[in-house]
Structure 1
Amino acid sequence: MELPVLNETPAASAGGCSSHSCGTSDDQLGHLSDEIRSKVENHPCYSEDAHHYFARMHVAVAPACNIQCHYCNRKYDCSNESRPGVVSELLTPDQAVKKTMAVAANIPQMTVLGIAGPGDPLANPERTFETFRRLSAEAPDIKLCVSTNGLALPESVEELSKHNIDHVTITINCVDPEIGAQIYPWIFWENKRIKGVKGAKILIEQQQKGLEMLAAKGILVKVNSVMIPGVNDKHLAEVSKIVKAKGAFLHNVMPLIAEAEHGTFYGVMGQRGPTQDELMELQDSCSGDMNMMRHCRQCRADAVGLLGEDRGDEFTMDKIESMEIDYQSAMEKRKVIHEAIAEEMHSKRAAKVEKAASHADEPKLNTRPVLMAIATSGQGVINMHFGHAKEFLIYEASPNGVRFMSHRKTDLYCGGDDTCGDGESVLQQTIRSLAGCEAVLCSKIGYEPWDLLEKAGIVPNGEHAMEPIEEAVMAVYKEMAAAGKLDEAAPQEERATA
C-alpha cells in the first residue's frame, strides 16, 4: 500500500536513524520486551525511527504553573514563536477532546496526544485529567502523554496510571539544589512561595520521587534537560546517570532558547545558549549512560503534525466547529494506515540489517568523521529542494557508519523577503547555519546557493534525490574518501560564512 503523505506542502520534518544513532533506533528497540516495544515503536518522541512517519499533537488546557523558570515566558495568542510555553488558543477539556478527534480524523498518522502546558499539566489537575478521561474512553487508539516539571508528580502518579498513559516526560535540569537555585527563582508548594536553594531542593526531591514511582508502575519516563552554559552544562552528565539509575527510559538534552525578544529572565540578562558543538559534545558524553533523544524540536504547547512542522492553524476551534467528523470511520482508516506504516518500517529495518551483513567483511575506512546536512520532508528520504527547507537534519558519517546528530532551523530563502534584520541575506544566514558541515544533500538546488555553498567549503549534492538518507550519506562519504578528501581534518575557516 502506498502511504499517504502527511503534508502535501513542502515542510521540513523527520530524519532517519541508523544502527549507530543515539535515541531509540531499531537496534536499540531490539533488546526491548514486546510490551515496551509496542509502547514506543509508533511514538515520534520516544522513537527516532517513528518520527519519520508518525505525528503528535499537544492540547493547551493547562494555563497555571507551580514553579518559575528563568528560561520560561508563557505567551498566549502567539503564532510567531515556536518554543515550549507558547500557545494561540487556551482550550477547555471539551474543546481539547473535539480538537483531538478532528486532528486524528484528518491526520491519521497522528498517534500521540500530549498535554504540555502552557503551564504545568499537574498544576491543573482537574482540566488535565478530565481531558485524559474523555480521550481514554472516546479515542482509545491514541497514546496519551503528559509533560511536567515534577513538583506535583508524586501525588498524581496513581491517577496517571488509571488512564491510557504509557509515557511521561519530566523536565529535570539538575540534581544539585545550589545549581537549581540559579534556574528556578521560586516554587509554589503547600500554598507558599518558596525561593532559592530551599525551593530547588523540594523540587528535586519531588522529581526523583515521582520518577521512581512511575518506573515502578511500568510507565515509560523521558527526562528533558535544558542545557544552560555556565549553569548546568557541566552537571548534566551526572543528571543523566542518576535518572537512568532511577528508571528513566530516554534522556533529551535540549539547548537553552534565550533570545531577548522572548522576554525570559535569561534572555533579558544576556545568558547565551549552547553552540551546536557544545550541545553535541554534551549529548555524546551522556549517551554512554543513557539512550539519548536528538530529534526533539522543543515544540509549542499547541503543536500539531510531524516533529519539525506545525499545522495548528488548520485546526483552530472556529475551523473545527464546522467540521463533520465520523470518528468510527476515521479509526478504521487510521488502523489501516498504521498497519501499512508498520509494514514499511519493518521492511526497511530488515533491508538495513541485510545490507549491513553483506558489507560486514569490507575493511573499515581509515578516515575522519564528516557532518552532512540533509533537506527532507520526512519518511527517511532526501526529498526536498534546498530553498524550501525550514530546517536541515545533520548526520555524521564515519568509519563506524551513519548517525543522526541534530537539526538546525533556518528560514525559507525562496519565500519572498530576501534579507534578515541585520542586513545579511536569508541565503547567507542559511549557509551560516550549516557551519561545520562539509556537504549538503537535497533533491534540487539552484545556481546561486550552489556557488555560495562551495565558497563556504560545503559541497552541494543533488544526486541522491528520493534515496534513503543513511545510504546516501554513506555513499557520499565513500566518494569523499576515494577522492582523498578525508585524510586529514578540514580547516574550520574554510567552512565560514558565505
Structure 2
Amino acid sequence: MEHPDIIIPVVPASGGCSASACGASARQMGGLPEAVRRKVEEHPCYSEQAHHYFARMHAAVAPACNIQCNYCNRKYDCANESRPGVVSEVLTPEQAVQRTLAVGAAIPQMSVLGIAGPGDPLANRERTFATFRLLAEKAPDIKLCVSTNGLALPECVDELSQHAIEHVTITINCVDPDIGAKIYPWIFWQHRRVRGRAAAEILIAQQQKGLEMLVARGILVKVNSVLIPGVNDGHLEEVSRIVKAKGAFLHNVMPLIAAPEHGTFYGLTGQRGPTAAELKAVQDACAGDMTMMRHCRQCRADAVGLLGEDRGAEFTLEKVAAMEIDHEAALARRLAFREQVRAELEAKRTQAATQVIALHRPPRKPLGRPVLMAVATKGNGIINEHFGYAREFLVYEASEAGVRLIGHRKTEKYCGGSETCGDGESRIDRIVRTLEGCEAVLCARIGIEPWSRLEAAGIRPDTEHAMEAIEAAVAAVWRAMLEKGELADAATERQRA
C-alpha cells in the first residue's frame, strides 16, 4: 500500500511564500504593487529575506529628544553597548553624508540610510532633513528612512513625503494613556513639559494621527513596540490590532533591554525584560492581527553593515577623512549588486511557487510536534558560521506548517576569552541557557567539548547541513526527526491509541 505524503511548505516567519524568496507574508505581499514589493525586499529592516543580503547605516545626527522613556538612556561617545540610543559620534549633516558615501563605497550591499537617533529625528528636524537633502544629491540610489517616537510626526509628514522617504518606523508602546503613564515620565509639547497621563494622551494621539497621514501618502509604516513585562505585555495585541486597522505594514515587538549598567529608570528599578518564551507568546498573539517582524536586532543609532553586525568602528570620521573614494565606481558596484540579488530572489520566488517538501509516512501516522532549532549564520541565508564564533543564533520553528523564523538570541562567543564569564558562569553554560527550548543547533563546525555539553543539555548539534540554505536544512532536520519517531507528543499518543 502506498503511504500518503506529508506536504511541508517552507514558509517565512509570518507565513506565505518561501522564506528563501521573501520576508513578508503572502497576505502582506500579495496585494501590493510590484514597485512596493521591491521597496520591501531591499530594506533589511523591513524584510526578513533582505537582511541576509542588504546592509544599512544609521546616521547619528539627531541628539535631542522630545520625550523621556523609562527604558531609554542616550549615551554619546560609547562603543561598548549595542542598543538603541547609543552612539560613538554625533555627526553634522555634512559629516553624515561623508560617512554614508564612504560606507557605500566599501560595502556594496549598502541600500538604506536611516536616521534613528540617538534622540528623535523629528525633534531635530533641521539636521534630519538637511542630511536627507544632501544625500539625495550625492547618492540618489540609497533609500532613506526615519524612526520616530511620533510626537512631532504629523507636522513633518508633508516634508517626509517631499523628500521621497519611503519607510517610516513609529515606536508605539501603547494606545492606553494609563499604560503610557507607566512608560513615559514626560513629553516636551508646545514649549512646555507635560507629565503623567496627560503626556501619554498627547503622545498617543499624535502617533495615531501621524500613522494615518503617512499611510494616506503611500509611505510604508512599521510599528515598533517594546515588550515590558507587567506593564504592556497584555496590551500589545490591542496595539497590533489598531495599528493594522490604520494601515501599518509591519509590527515589530521587541524585548525590553533593562540592564542596571545602562542607567535607565527600568534598569535601576529592577524591571526585568521578557524571556524568549514570553516574547514569542506575545509575537504569536499579535501575529493573528498583524504581520510580525522577528529579525530585529535593536541596533545602535550609528549601526553600520548587515543586521547582526556592526562595522561602525571602520568608518570613524578620522578614518573616513583619509579615504580616497571613486564615487562613480562605488555607485556602479552597488547597482550591480542589487541587480544580482534581485535576479537571485526572483529565481527563488519562481521555484518556491511550486516547490514543496514531501515527507513519506506510514498510514494514519499523525504529524509531529513543532521543534525550535538554533542556526549559526554569517548571512546570505545559509549555515556558514562556526559554533564557537557565533555571537547570536537565529531561532527557527519547524512543523508540519513549514519553517519560520521566530527571532534571534544574542550570546558571547564560545571561543576566545576566559572560560568563565564575569558572574562565574561558564561560557558554554550561558550559551546553553540562551538556547533554552531549542532541540538542535545547526552550524558549520563545532568542537568536541561544546558538542558534548550541548548533547548533555538535550540540544542536538548538527553540522551535516553546513553551507546549505537555512530553511531547507531546518526542514530536513525536522523531517529526519519525524521519520525516526522523535516528534510524538501527548496528543499524538492519544490519537494512536
Same structural fold, with TM-score higher than 0.5 when normalized by the shorter chain = yes
- 1:327-342 equivalences under 5 Å are 327-342=327-342
Q: Distance in 1 between matches of 2:336 and 2:185?
A: 49
1:354 aligned counterpart, secondary structure = coil
1:165 aligned counterpart, secondary structure = coil
Aligned to 1:486: 487
Aligned to 1:196: 196
Aligned to 1:343: 343
Q: Displacement, 1:271?
A: 0.3
Q: Displacement, 1:326?
A: 1.6
What root-mean-square deviation, in Å, do the aligned CA atoms of Structure 1 and Structure 2 show?
A: 1.7
Q: Distance in 2 between matches of 1:63 and 1:18?
A: 43
Structure-2 change in CA distance of 1:108 and 1:365 (3 Å): farther
Aligned to 2:411: 410
Q: Distance in 1 between matches of 2:473 and 2:410?
A: 22
Aligned to 1:271: 271
Structure 2 residue 365 is matched with structure 1 residue 353: no
- 1:299-448 equivalences under 5 Å are 299-356=299-356, 359=358, 366-448=367-449
Contact 2:221 2:249 in 1 (8 A): yes
Q: Distance in 2 between matches of 1:64 and 1:112?
A: 23
Structure 2 residue 24 is matched with structure 1 residue 25: yes
Aligned to 1:167: 167
Is there any run of 5+ residues in structure 1 with no aligned partner, and where? 1-16, 491-498
- 1:71-82 equivalences under 5 Å are 71-82=71-82
1:478 aligned counterpart, secondary structure = helix
Structure-2 change in CA distance of 1:246 and 1:125 (3 Å): same
Q: Displacement, 1:322?
A: 0.5
Contact 1:145 1:168 in 2 (8 A): yes
**Deviates further, 181-190 or 347-356:** 347-356
Deviations 1:220-266 (A, max 9, x none): 00000000011011000000011111111110000000011100000
Aligned to 2:139: 139
1:78 aligned counterpart, secondary structure = coil
Contact 1:395 1:403 in 2 (8 A): yes
Q: Distance in 2 between matches of 1:255 and 1:349?
A: 32
Contact 2:392 2:411 in 1 (8 A): yes
Aligned to 1:36: 36
Contact 1:386 1:442 in 2 (8 A): yes
> Size of the alignment, in residue pairs?
473
Q: Distance in 2 between matches of 1:57 and 1:403?
A: 27
Q: Displacement, 1:478?
A: 1.2
User: Normalising by structure 1, what TM-score?
Assistant: 0.92
Q: Distance in 1 between matches of 2:366 and 2:53?
A: 32
Aligned to 1:235: 235
Deviations 1:143-177 (A, max 9, x none): 00000000000000011111131000000000011
Is there any run of 5+ residues in structure 2 with no aligned partner, and where? 1-8, 16-22, 492-497
Q: Distance in 2 between matches of 1:425 and 1:392?
A: 18
Contact 2:14 2:25 in 1 (8 A): no
1:279 aligned counterpart, secondary structure = helix
Q: Distance in 2 between matches of 1:205 and 1:252?
A: 20
**Deviates further, 30-39 or 328-337:** 30-39
Q: Distance in 2 between matches of 1:315 and 1:208?
A: 37
Aligned to 2:283: 283
Q: Displacement, 1:69?
A: 0.3
Structure-2 change in CA distance of 1:415 and 1:361 (3 Å): closer
Aligned to 1:85: 85
Aligned to 1:461: 462
User: Which amino acid is 2:315 matched to?
Assistant: F
Q: Distance in 2 between matches of 1:439 and 1:489?
A: 21
Contact 2:444 2:465 in 1 (8 A): yes
1:253 aligned counterpart, secondary structure = strand
1:355 aligned counterpart, secondary structure = coil
2:352 aligned counterpart, secondary structure = helix
Q: Distance in 2 between matches of 1:308 and 1:395?
A: 16
Q: Displacement, 1:107?
A: 0.4
**Deviates further, 440-449 or 21-30:** 21-30
Q: Identity across aligned pairs (percent)?
A: 67
Q: Distance in 2 between matches of 1:193 and 1:449?
A: 54
**Deviates further, 72-81 or 411-420:** 411-420
Q: Distance in 2 between matches of 1:489 and 1:372?
A: 21
1:234 aligned counterpart, secondary structure = coil
